Structure 1
Amino acid sequence: MTEIQRQQVNAMQFWGKHKDPLFDSYNFPVMNEAQREYWYRNKKYTLSKKCFGVSNLQHQFVGYIALRNIRWIRRISELGIVFDPNHINKGYGTDALKCFLKYYFENMKMKQLNLKVAIFNKRAEKCYENCGFQLQEIKYDEFEDQKFPVFEKDELKEYQQFFKKEGTILLTQYKHMCITKERYIK
């Protein structure tokens, strides 16, 4: 795992797509050269963000781990993980996150790592639990894809249980989880 490289952003354009419509918003968007450069610079040169590329044993770039809302004085931040859909369910997320936690707590000297995971994302939730994250609370928050037509399309009816609308805002339940340095050491 290394800090994200510019050529890796280009490689994301060739990642697979999730087949489950619930995960459409997790697909890496198609971007032109200027948009990719902006995305890279925003992740690389912003004090409140850091991004790390993940490669498998065959040196294929398969995902990235991102930190956002880094609070350097308090030594806490929020986690985000994105993997090429062609490389999920292979244990890469759990392996990468376990390695990353060592770096996060020992090298970066951080004290706590927070995350939120959509209630329907059982695969990611299992990964986080396997890495030592504990549930803090479950609450409704804005869904990433406000254009997701869950209440407009009959073929998405089975997913309505995960969502609600407040006015025009589409909400879903998220599990808020965290791991502290003390828990990591145990």
Structure 2
Amino acid sequence: MIIVARGKLTYITEIERQQVDAMQLWGKHEDPLLGSYNFPVMSELQREYWYRNKKYTLSKKCFGVCNLENQFVGYIALRNIKWIRRISELGIVFDPNYINKGYGTDALKGFLEYYFDNMKMRQLNLKVAVFNKRAQKCYEKCGFQLQEIKYDEFEDQNLEVFDREDLEEYQQFFKKEGTILLSQYKHMCITKEAHYAEQLT
């Protein structure tokens, strides 16, 4: 196991094949708005493909997150890596059994040190659904700044958000364009300079 970064509650490793198998045992989000974050049931062949795609694609990198009890609790993914411009996009997914424990913020703070110091990157971008307040707080604590809010295609196109009374309060964040379900997203970023400035405060 290759450890690339450490937080106070977590440590981050290069993604390992057995970690992909462990994702099959993760819990499920009960919130229907977060259903697309549930890791799908995969065959062994599909898991092998997922691992190789994340591990050996030049424009992607993936890292496992473990707590201090050595439990695999989540992963951090980089996509659309532009190696010349030193910029990429962040994705982060945690086992629902381990959310609201401070692991996400802790892991991301540790990872940012590795991202800027070791990978020599200049900027990290992300987008987060406007309704996802918990994730927004995590990113804000880590120093990410809002760039813009705009509608993007929602991950779960099967969610019937306008037909469910239990989701009525969230309908304001969605709209339909033809048959495509769109949701409001906050586009955020952190630069190397802003990260270092954050460490001094």
Tell me the TM-score normalised to structure 1 length. Answer: 0.98
1:48 corresponds in structure 2 to 59
Post-superposition offset of 1:62: 0.1
Match of 2:90 among 79, 82, 86: 79
Q: CA deviation at 1:39?
A: 0.7
Which whole-Å CA distance do the structure 2 matches of 1:140 and 1:178 have between them?
17
* Mapped partners of 1:156, 1:177: distance in 2: 25
RMSD in angstroms over aligned alpha carbons? 0.9
CA contact (8 A) 2:131 2:170 kept: no
Counterpart of 1:94 in structure 2 is: 105
- Unmatched segments (≥5 aa) in structure 2: 1-11
Query: 1:134, 1:91 → 2: CA distance?
Result: 20
Residue 153 of structure 1 and its aligned partner are, at CA, apart by 3.4
Does the alignment pair 1:130 with 2:130?
no
Unaligned runs of 5+ in 1: none
Superposition deviation, residue 75 in structure 1: 0.2
- Aligned-residue identity in percent: 82
1:85-123 Cα deviation digits (max 9, x unpaired)? 000000000000000000000000000000000001111
1:28 aligned onto 2:39: yes
Counterpart AA for 1:147 = N
Report how many aligned residue pairs link the two structures. 186
Counterpart residue identity of residue 81, structure 1: I
Q: Aligned AA for 1:86?
A: N
**Residue identity matched to 2:130:** I
Question: Amino acid of the residue matched to residue 192 of structure 2?
Answer: K
Structure 1 match to 2:4: none
Residues 139-180 of structure 1: CA deviation (Å, up to 9, x unaligned): 000001111111233443333222100011100000000000
Looking at structure 1, the residues matched to 166 and 98 of structure 2 have their Cα atoms a distance apart, in angstroms, of 27
Which residue identity lines up with residue 167 of structure 1 in the other structure?
Answer: G
Amino acid at match of 1:31: M
Matched residue, 2:121:
110
Instruction: State the 4+ residue runs in structure 1 displaced beyond 6 angstroms.
Output: none
TM-score by length of 2: 0.90
